[in-house]
Chain A
Amino acid sequence: MKTKVLTVDDSRTIRNMLLVTLNNAGFDTVQAEDGMEGLEVLEESNPDVIVTDINMPRLDGFGFIEGVRQNERYRSVPILVLTTESDDEKKNRARQAGATGWIVKPFDPTKLVSAIERVTA
């Protein structure tokens, strides 16, 4: 069974890149455009791992991660943050919200894939 990745990013460019990268690497991909939509599709998409941006309209990455963690079923699903931000304060916030890992954009497809593989069985 393929690993299913939920990607949450408001940039169409990044979403397309993720789609191609992840499909090429043999993952199933479900996409959401912001944190709010991410939470909406969470149950239905039932991802094995989540890759999310931080800066998004409606609901940002921090809020999204908190929302995922509040869902009993997804308390421990790995969540990788994929963002251009690299400052420690933001990393800390993401960590407190419950993020598993932090990847700085622009991403190297190979590294992203190995990061996903690292947190999924």
Chain B
Amino acid sequence: MDMNEIKEIFFQECEEQLTELETGLLAMNDGDDDPETVNAVFRAVHSIKGGAGAFGLDDLVAFAHVFETTLDCVRSNKLDPDETVMKVMLKSADVLADLTAAARDGGTVDPARSSTLAKDLEALANGQPLPDGDAAPVAEAPVEAAAPAPEEAAPASSDDSGFQPVPFSFDDMDEVAPAEDAPADAADGNVYTIEFKPNAGLYAKGNDTALLFRDLAQLGQMEVRCNSEALPELDGMDPEDSYLTWSVTLTTESDEDAIRQVFEFAEWDCKLEVSAGRADADDAGDEAPMVPVPFDLSMLGAPEEKVETPPTPVAEAPVPPAPVAPTAPAPQAAAPTPAPSPAPEPAKAASPIVKEPAKKPKVAAVAPAQQIRVDLERVDRLINLVGELVINQAMLAQSVGESEETVSGQGNNINLGLDELNQLTREIQDSVMAIRAQPVKPVFQRMSRIVREIADMVGKNVRLVTEGENTEVDKTVIDKLAEPLTHMIRNSVDHGLESAEDRKAAGKDPQGMVKLSAKHRSGRIVIEIEDDGAGINRERVKQKAMDNGLITAESNLSDEEIDNLIFHPGFSTAEKLSDISGRGVGMDVVKKSIQSLGGRISIQSNPGKGSIFSMSLPLTLAVLDGMVVSVADQTLVVPLTAIVETLQPEKSDIHGFGAKQRLIAIRETFCPLVDVGEILNFRDEPADPIEGVALLVESEGGGQRALMVDAIQGQRQVVIKSLESNYSNVPGIAAATILGDGRVALILDVDMIVSASKGQSLAIEELKSA
């Protein structure tokens, strides 16, 4: 693993943290006051800061730091997360996401944007009014926020934050070994006297005098004296207390800071005095009998040997009951041996022994995980292979079927086996697809930002409600969902919802609502974007369509057909081009991109109440259930989802209309009959409908057509092979597949066929109204 890989992991993790952050903030925004929610939000920012620091991503660190400080105020109840605060937080989350993206892709973020927000955040943390008055009045700022403890307050700038990014590099690692070369001969170095009085807590926290002295010895020549005066009689001894104090004379070229550095972790639990010069031996002698202690580093170097030494150091103390005499030799200077060495000491010494027999079979280097991360590429390959397997299984079934007569004796067994194989193949396929399935949640979450931004831009107050975020769909579909969804959400906020004044006038809540929901319905995912706006203004749509020459004044359109006009290329009803809709992307583009996913989009509008856009998409782009049909000696596959019913037309059902067109009567209605063979130019003249089969199909616009085919061969699941990537786009054909017998079959693009026969659509309307 190298730095780049870790950086990759970092950015992946950032994505997760940002999602976590936004989820938490949105929950808080909706009134969730669970401390764990605030904690999770805080941790997300905190983690990003921590990782960013290691990579020297200063902008990200600086912003994350300010953000974190403000969040900490919320976390510690110093700042009430009211509407104003939440607004700043949500915006900050967006900026943090942008900074992360910029750090990853090398882009930049408008510095004014992040610095303005950083100032807002600082102001909030300091209980000050927001710098510019665009947000809510300051008076709303909570009283408690007015007086944060000074040290908790956000630093004015990141400089005094105490957090300095340290770019992380493994290159330095070679130099790790000994900290500094111990000056072997430091005769002319400085002399320091170090008085070290550990208290019991020092040992209880895993520190060790011997280890401290070992480090100290690296700085130069040292002389250690031990004061054991405080040592009580043995029966009065608390094995966990600390009785010994130490005086070290160190001759070193290092300075006092280097010495204090050694005691960095111990300073909490000791009295430490470092003074220049040699302590006056007489002074010390007056009250504290000091024992010179030979200091032998080698004892520390080899822990195993250390274990060999007598297990109870106390036993080595010369005369047990006596107060340890000044003369007491200190045989094991390194370990505070003669002392009632604090209990931790022996325990520690013993640990290597305990460890070895207890060598557990295998402790995984990384703690057991419930999840694994797999390269998407590998999953894709697996899905492809399973696709081949499905094809192969179908081929096998077919060839067995064909040769069944010859092996009729065993046919039954073989068929049973094949059925099982078929079942298994399906299951494998479902399981494999499940690996790539993901909840739509991340995409939905991105939409909340879009709503915020657009609402801000057009000055509307909008609430986004999401539902069914855990609905799963293939990753390939999810990836392509964001763009059309973004556009539709923009559209709903910009065009769908009225201004606050209009809403009030209409007796509605001034805050508009956009609802985004997902659910599974008959093997597809249905995503709906609902707004409680004014609904489609049909008069205006009609007028506009006439202006654009899409329809004529005489056109008699149903409400549904008027609504569907907005999907027409180049159609836009916005009276003034706003930022949002001025991007040149119309609903027709949205429709196209949904269609290219094998999806349909439809609209339901209720004047004064709002509109619902609903998209229905396949759960995967890898396979589809299709009806295999033959047309003019060609084999085609019609997606099953498009087929409403199949019919065997009677002569009396067929009605001529105009020169060439024909209609088929289906119960009470007429439906245009389209000969697939003719429209795809497989044959010049339409075939006789009586001899064929009609498939009643429905396009996403709700329009129905009866497709004439010669015969139905069967129904099966096919693996979709892109035609575009292997050949080129063919109108009327969505993709290709390989059938059981190895032949390539084309998959019909039903919507395209329906719209290619558009001219007939108006014809039937006229007929109906006639």
Binding site for B on A (CB under 8 A): 1, 10-17, 19-21, 24-25, 29-33, 37, 41, 44-46, 48-49, 55-57, 69, 73, 75-80, 84, 86-87, 95, 98-102, 104-110, 113-115, 118-121
9-residue interface stretch from B129-137, B165-173, B452-460, B556-564 = B165-173
A76 vs B350: C-alpha distance when bound (angstroms): 12
Asked whether B355 is an interface residue with its Cβ less than 8 Å from the other chain, the reply is yes
CB-CB nearest in chain B for A54: B46
CB-CB nearest in chain B for A108: B166
**Complex contacts, B169 vs chain A, CB 8 Å:** 109
Indicate which residue in A13, A20, A115 contacts B170 across the interface (CB closer than 8 Å).
A20
A108 vs B354: C-alpha distance when bound (angstroms): 33
Contact with A along B648-665 (1 / 0, CB 8 A): 000000000000000000
In the complex, the answer to whether B205 meets A110 with C-beta atoms within 8 Å is: no
Q: A76-B203, A79-B206, A118-B215 are in contact. List 18 more A-B contacts (CB 8 A).
A: A1-B303, A11-B47, A12-B12, A13-B50, A14-B51, A30-B367, A57-B43, A84-B49, A99-B205, A104-B162, A105-B50, A105-B53, A106-B168, A109-B168, A110-B176, A114-B176, A118-B211, A121-B210
Indicate which residue in B13, B49, B205, B365 contacts A31 across the interface (CB closer than 8 Å).
B365
CB-CB nearest in chain B for A121: B303
What distance in Å separates the Cβ of A19 from its nearest Cβ neighbour in chain B?
A: 8
A107 vs B237: C-alpha distance when bound (angstroms): 41
In the complex, the answer to whether B6 meets A13 with C-beta atoms within 8 Å is: yes
A102 vs B269: C-alpha distance when bound (angstroms): 13
Asked whether B151 is an interface residue with its Cβ less than 8 Å from the other chain, the reply is yes
Asked whether B682 is an interface residue with its Cβ less than 8 Å from the other chain, the reply is no
A44 vs B361: C-alpha distance when bound (angstroms): 10
In the complex, the answer to whether A1 meets B355 with C-beta atoms within 8 Å is: yes
**Complex contacts, A77 vs chain B, CB 8 Å:** 206
Which has the most chain B C-beta neighbours within 10 Å: A10, A15, A86, A109?
Answer: A109
Asked whether B280 is an interface residue with its Cβ less than 8 Å from the other chain, the reply is no
In the complex, the answer to whether B53 meets A1 with C-beta atoms within 8 Å is: no
In the complex, the answer to whether B170 meets A21 with C-beta atoms within 8 Å is: yes
Asked whether B715 is an interface residue with its Cβ less than 8 Å from the other chain, the reply is no
**Complex contacts, A33 vs chain B, CB 8 Å:** 367
Asked whether B348 is an interface residue with its Cβ less than 8 Å from the other chain, the reply is yes
**Complex contacts, A46 vs chain B, CB 8 Å:** 354-355, 358, 360
What distance in Å separates the Cβ of A90 from its nearest Cβ neighbour in chain B?
A: 11
Contact with A along B51-64 (1 / 0, CB 8 A): 10110000000000
CB-CB nearest in chain A for B335: A121
A73 vs B350: C-alpha distance when bound (angstroms): 11
A104 vs B265: C-alpha distance when bound (angstroms): 13
What distance in Å separates the Cβ of A55 from its nearest Cβ neighbour in chain B?
A: 5
> When A84-B53, A114-B179 are in contact, do A95 and B351 touch as well, CB less than 8 Å?
no
In the complex, the answer to whether B43 meets A44 with C-beta atoms within 8 Å is: no
**Complex contacts, A121 vs chain B, CB 8 Å:** 208, 210-211, 300, 303, 306, 348
What distance in Å separates the Cβ of A10 from its nearest Cβ neighbour in chain B?
A: 7
**Complex contacts, B5 vs chain A, CB 8 Å:** 16
In the complex, the answer to whether B208 meets A41 with C-beta atoms within 8 Å is: no
> When A48-B351, A87-B151 are in contact, do A119 and B163 touch as well, CB less than 8 Å?
no
**Complex contacts, A13 vs chain B, CB 8 Å:** 6, 9-10, 13, 47, 50-51, 54
In the complex, the answer to whether B360 meets A44 with C-beta atoms within 8 Å is: yes
**Complex contacts, B300 vs chain A, CB 8 Å:** 121
Asked whether B185 is an interface residue with its Cβ less than 8 Å from the other chain, the reply is no
A25 vs B168: C-alpha distance when bound (angstroms): 15
**Complex contacts, A102 vs chain B, CB 8 Å:** 265
> When A16-B9, A45-B363 are in contact, do A106 and B265 touch as well, CB less than 8 Å?
no
**Complex contacts, B402 vs chain A, CB 8 Å:** none
In the complex, the answer to whether B204 meets A76 with C-beta atoms within 8 Å is: yes
CB-CB nearest in chain A for B161: A86
**Complex contacts, A98 vs chain B, CB 8 Å:** 204-206
Asked whether B567 is an interface residue with its Cβ less than 8 Å from the other chain, the reply is no
A114 vs B356: C-alpha distance when bound (angstroms): 25
Closest 7 CB pairs of A and B: A76-B344, A101-B265, A106-B53, A78-B206, A13-B51, A100-B206, A13-B10
Which has the most chain A C-beta neighbours within 10 Å: B5, B163, B262?
Answer: B163
What distance in Å separates the Cβ of A39 from its nearest Cβ neighbour in chain B?
A: 11
CB-CB nearest in chain A for B61: A106
A43 vs B244: C-alpha distance when bound (angstroms): 32
Asked whether B352 is an interface residue with its Cβ less than 8 Å from the other chain, the reply is yes
21 contacts between A and B (CB under 8 A): A11-B50, A13-B10, A13-B47, A13-B54, A17-B6, A30-B365, A30-B367, A37-B367, A44-B363, A55-B47, A69-B204, A76-B343, A76-B347, A84-B49, A98-B205, A98-B206, A105-B53, A107-B166, A109-B172, A118-B215, A119-B207
> When A12-B13, A13-B6, A13-B54 are in contact, do A55 and B42 touch as well, CB less than 8 Å?
yes
A76 vs B366: C-alpha distance when bound (angstroms): 24
Asked whether B430 is an interface residue with its Cβ less than 8 Å from the other chain, the reply is no
In the complex, the answer to whether B304 meets A1 with C-beta atoms within 8 Å is: yes
What distance in Å separates the Cβ of A66 from its nearest Cβ neighbour in chain B?
A: 12
CB-CB nearest in chain A for B10: A13
Contact with A along B151-169 (1 / 0, CB 8 A): 1000000000011011011
CB-CB nearest in chain A for B14: A13
Contact with A along B1-31 (1 / 0, CB 8 A): 1000110011011000000000000000000
What distance in Å separates the Cβ of A117 from its nearest Cβ neighbour in chain B?
A: 8
**Complex contacts, A115 vs chain B, CB 8 Å:** 265
**Complex contacts, B363 vs chain A, CB 8 Å:** 30, 41, 44-45
**Complex contacts, A57 vs chain B, CB 8 Å:** 39-40, 43
**Complex contacts, B53 vs chain A, CB 8 Å:** 84, 105-106
CB-CB nearest in chain B for A68: B206
